[in-house]
Amino acid sequence: MKSRIGTWESGSRQQDLEIDMEELQSAIEGVQGTVGFAAKHLETGQQLSHNADSIFFTAGTLKVPLLTELYRQVDEGYINLSERIELSDDLRVPRSGIFKELATGLQPTVRDAAMLMIIISDNTATDALMEMVGRESLHDTRQTWGLLQTRIPMSVRQLLYSAVDLDPENADHTFALCSDRLFKGRFNLSADAYDEAKSDVSSPADMSRLLELLQSGDILSPESTADALDILKRQQLRTVIPHTLPIGTSAAHKTGFYLGVRADAGIVSGPNGPYTIAIMAKNITASDRVKVDLSLSPISAAIYRAFTS
């Protein structure tokens, strides 16, 4: 069944968005958990949403506001992308990425770290950049940008240690111990990492708004806007938003995942123009990450067809 929903204004013309509601409803019901999404076509203003203002855990999508704040500080002259970050043992963060596996003393540039943070979701690079930009600055800027449902009180290290009942400030709770618990899936769903009042959270609407601001060029210089989008387009973890889109479709996006949580947010360059899309899920009962991603990607496909019909 096709239905017209989401009327919008464009000058003096009002148009409707045609979408196969059965396809979209089926995609939503296929997710074994709570899902929300927000999407906006940036040329027509058409929008689609479901639970868009609900709070979800960011997981790795927190790296989008971090990347944007990094480039804002580059524009302000506080950070130089050519500056070097030295890898030390106390910087290493478990789980995704390769930075943690490399030799102590390695000195990639800030831009190298930003690339690693986005394209392979490198957690060590992320926390190094978060320390550089400062969480207080990140907090203040997201308020300026109107991201009022977005809070990032935890570093990735704090988040992951919390998820497996460890304290990063405890010397006995080592990198190796945390890595082992994460590998064995010893998660505590009552931990702060799973508490919406204490963990890193956002909403599909907030993430979509941030991406719209980034794409518009209103919050960064033209050079920084182009570079940030270029990094997002090099994403190598492509199993949600771009997974079922036509071959060759460009998507600048960032994924996020930990037990019970999955998210992906980005900008898709459709044949009728770009659109933002943020898909977030929590309380996921399926433990197989591949199955989770395969349940979320049909939402992206339905939105793509709605915006390109």
Report in angstroms the alpha-carbon separations of 75 from 55, 68, 151, 260, 304: 31, 11, 23, 37, 33
pLDDT per residue as tens digits for the range 112-131: 999 999 999 999 999 999 99
Residue 24: the pLDDT is 86
What is the distance of C-alpha 90 from the center of its chain? 25
User: Alpha helices of 77-164 — where are they, by DSSP H?
Assistant: 110-119, 123-133, 135-144, 156-163
Residue 10: the pLDDT is 29
- Under a CB-based contact definition with an 8 Å cutoff, are residues 273 and 42 in contact? yes
Q: Beta 13-20 vs 2-10: how paired, if at all?
A: antiparallel
- β-partners of residue 234 are none
Residue 13: the pLDDT is 33
Return d(Cα 226, Cα 127) in angstroms, integer.
Answer: 23
Domains of the chain from N-terminus onward:
2-308 (3.40.710.10)
Q: Tell me whether residue 104 is exposed, middle or buried, using C-beta atoms within 10 angstroms of its C-beta: 0 to 12, 13 to 18, 19 or more.
A: exposed
Whole-model pTM: value is: 0.92
pLDDT per residue as tens digits for the range 225-260: 999 999 999 999 899 999 999 999 999 999 999 889
pLDDT tens string for the chain (309 positions)? 444 343 333 232 334 566 667 888 888 999 999 999 999 999 999 999 999 999 999 999 999 999 999 999 999 999 999 999 999 999 999 999 999 999 999 999 999 999 999 999 999 999 999 999 999 999 999 999 999 999 999 999 999 999 999 999 999 999 999 999 999 999 999 999 999 999 999 999 999 999 999 999 999 999 999 999 999 999 998 999 999 999 999 999 999 998 899 999 999 999 999 999 999 999 998 777 888 999 999 999 999 999 987
Instruction: Give the type of residue at 126.
Output: T
- β-partners of residue 248 are none
Return d(Cα 263, Cα 254) in angstroms, integer.
Answer: 8
Return d(Cα 256, Cα 63) in angstroms, integer.
Answer: 9
Report in angstroms the alpha-carbon separations of 242 from 20, 84, 166, 179, 267: 19, 33, 35, 30, 10
Residue whose C-alpha is closest to residue 279's, from 5, 96, 45, 48: 48
